[in-house]
Amino acid sequence: MAATAAELPIATARLVLRRLVPADAPAVTRLVNDYSVAGNLARVPFPYREELAREWIDSAGEQIDSGDAYHLAITQDGALVGCIGLTLKRGALPELGYWVGRKFWGRGLAREAGQGLLAWAETHLGITEVEASALSDNIASQAVLKHLGFVQEGTAMQPFLSRNRAMPVALFRRARAPAPPPKPILLVVACALLDSEGRILLAQRPEGKSMAGLWEFPGGKLDEGETPEAALIRELREELGIETQEACLSPLFFASHSYANFHLLMPLYICRKWQGRAVAREGQNLAWVRPDKLRDYPMPPADVPLVALLRDFL
């Protein structure tokens, strides 16, 4: 599948990867015509002439248009610092190649460009497996590939135009990491207790619990076979010492939030009628809060979107 011109350039934190243009020829020539750069590139002769740069730039544009390869300029603050490309080959894996001018070494630019191009290729081309190679003694380039998730799978001899002979190279392959297993869904229930003054009760998570110090709506997990309403009635009794019944609970909103190890699904009910006085029975702090002040109380991420909904509703 060929990507359209509208899907380029690729922007990363510090770089822009864009199509090469004829005006890049002098910069390409200047940076590549350095044996410390050209000597590590298999398909680049040395010395390198600007005429070759112009021909290669024209060819790179044609290959992008045909979807056969994506050779791009690596630019930082508008200046060309190197090039990176992905060559699509029939019957073989796409091949990643790159170079960065010597004066830009040691800044992590090749890594950043590689991450940007590989992510773009996965999104726009559906490419999940890529191969690459590096000279056996080019430890820096091998480190870049390993940082990008490549694993060495062997060695080979490869002709290098810049050296006029075959050189030993390390062969690498990168496969997309398997998708993580789906997170378990945790169902909890919460309640906005609304008193006669229009205030809502919040409880602060005590020390020793996850997200200690944050404020939340009273409630908790469902026991096996329990309905949300039954669980909420039980939790309000255990946490606050109050009694209510299902007819006094009205479903209002729900929260859906992905935490690190689970996905939380939390229906929020509103309750205006109960028996008893709410007291902290589990060591938590309690606060009766007016709706327009709820944002002053730091809450777990799942609860935060409910605040605006609840405030507007009331």
Query: What six digits make up the tokens of 237?
Result: 């009794």
Q: What is the pLDDT of residues 5-39, one digit of tens each?
A: 558 899 999 999 999 999 999 999 999 999 999 99
Mean pLDDT of 225-229: 94
pLDDT of residue 227: 95
The fold adopted by the segment(s) 185-313 is: Nucleoside Triphosphate Pyrophosphohydrolase (3.90.79)
Q: Where in the chain is the domain with CATH 3.40.630.30?
A: 5-175
Q: Is 53 a residue whose pLDDT tops 60?
A: yes
CA–CA gap between residue 109 and residue 24 (Å, rounded): 18
CA–CA gap between residue 122 and residue 124 (Å, rounded): 6
pLDDT of residue 13: 93
CATH number corresponding to 5-175: 3.40.630.30
Q: What is the pLDDT of residues 173-219, one digit of tens each?
A: 998 766 678 889 999 999 999 999 999 999 999 888 888 899 999 99
Question: What is the CA angle 244-296-287, rounded to 5?
Answer: 35
pLDDT of residue 306: 92
CA dihedral 51, 53, 58, 59 (to 10 degrees): 110
Query: What six digits make up the tokens of 144?
Result: 């870049």
In percent, the amount of the chain with pLDDT more than 90 equals 87
Q: Which of 73-82, 173-182, 271-280 has the lowest mean pLDDT?
A: 173-182
Mean pLDDT of 131-154: 96
Residue 295 DSSP code:
G
CA–CA gap between residue 72 and residue 113 (Å, rounded): 10
